[in-house]
Amino acid sequence: MKDRRRRLLLLHDSPHMTRPILRKLFQIDASLLYPFSCTPSQLSTTLSIPLSRAQSIHRHITDNNIMKKLDIYDQKYTIVTVFDPTYPEYLKTIPDPPYALYTEGDVSLFHTPLSISVIGTRKPSSYAFPAMKSILIPLISSGFTIVSGMAQGIDQLAHKLAAEFNGKTIAVLGSGFEHIYPKNNPSLYDTLIREHLVVSEYPPDCPPQKYHFPERNRLIAGLTPSTFVIEARLKSGTLITVDQALEQGKDVYALPGPAGHVTSEGCHKMINEGAKLVHTHHDILEDWLEKFE
């Protein structure tokens, strides 16, 4: 690893490090030399964090065993940092970009010209699957890379459709690669890492945590210029992703559903608030091409 890149990965790997703290370190010293050359006490004062936390960070980034572990990760996975030319352009513009991404698969998918995020409920109605197939299959045939979160329900079907209809897809995880979640479809996961792309901002030995999934959602929205919602309840993680897409300045499309269905309420609310209603794939394709060609 190059020195600056290695320093970033050591800091990023620390469980006591957060993106706001790392952002502050970048502002202090873009080379990231400072935390490796100062004392824990100085680090505590500079970052306005407790001394115990500064000591934990310092121990982590100077631990030879951690360095060896990162060398193994760098050989086993493709790690993309903000310093690398393969870092996704779309993520550079979001309010809270990741500093490092662990990946398995084809990283060139970060740079496909056509892409869309597809999200929705983990428990879709019987209406959702045929409706999304009628819209997504033509988009996949038109060259769209499908980005989603590998969750059960809408996410996994979106990945499957891309794989089955000769398209490409990116799955964004809320855990490290040594703790794949959910575990319900290992064959789909194997297909994704072999023929598509799986991404996580969490180090491979990081297990899933509840707060990881809202964090993960900003990347699902961030990796593409637009987000398509299939079905969503009024209070759901899907709506968190929509809020993040809007905060990032992305377009939001929504599939209307049967009146009175709880899984339609979120999409209907979004449409009332300005999301574009999608009847057919043409509603996305024509709008997308008009804006981004």
- Give the pLDDT confidence score for residue 258 in this predicted structure: 84
More confident residue, 239 or 194: 194
The answer, yes or no, to whether residue 291 has pLDDT greater than 80, is: no
Question: In whole numbers, what is the pLDDT of the chain averaged over residues?
Answer: 92
The answer, yes or no, to whether residue 208 has pLDDT greater than 70, is: yes
Rounded CA-CA distance 26/87 in Å is 17
Whole-model pTM: value is: 0.94
Q: What percent of the chain has pLDDT over 90?
A: 76
Q: How confident is the model at residue 260 (pLDDT cuts 50, 70, 90)?
A: confident
Which pair of tokens denotes residue 227? 């987000």
Rounded CA-CA distance 283/252 in Å is 12
- Give the pLDDT confidence score for residue 238 in this predicted structure: 86
Rounded CA-CA distance 244/242 in Å is 5
- Give the pLDDT confidence score for residue 292 in this predicted structure: 58
- Give the pLDDT confidence score for residue 8 in this predicted structure: 97
Work out the average pLDDT over 163-173: 97
**At 38, which amino acid appears?**
C
Work out the average pLDDT over 184-192: 93
The answer, yes or no, to whether residue 2 has pLDDT greater than 70, is: no
Radius of gyration of the chain (CA): 20
DSSP 122: S
On the 0-12 / 13-18 / 19+ scale of CB atoms within 10 A, 262 is middle
- Residue pLDDT, tens place only, 9-36: 999 999 999 999 999 999 999 999 999 9
Work out the average pLDDT over 92-98: 92
- Give the pLDDT confidence score for residue 263 in this predicted structure: 86
The answer, yes or no, to whether residue 163 has pLDDT greater than 70, is: yes
- Give the pLDDT confidence score for residue 162 in this predicted structure: 97
Q: How far apart are the first and last CA of the chain?
A: 37
- Residue pLDDT, tens place only, 212-238: 998 999 999 999 999 999 988 888 778
Work out the average pLDDT over 281-290: 83
The answer, yes or no, to whether residue 293 has pLDDT greater than 70, is: no
- CA distance readout (Å), 170 to 61, 70, 98, 188: 31, 24, 16, 12
Q: How confident is the model at residue 1 (pLDDT cuts 50, 70, 90)?
A: very low
Rounded CA-CA distance 223/227 in Å is 10
Q: What percent of the chain has pLDDT over 70?
A: 98
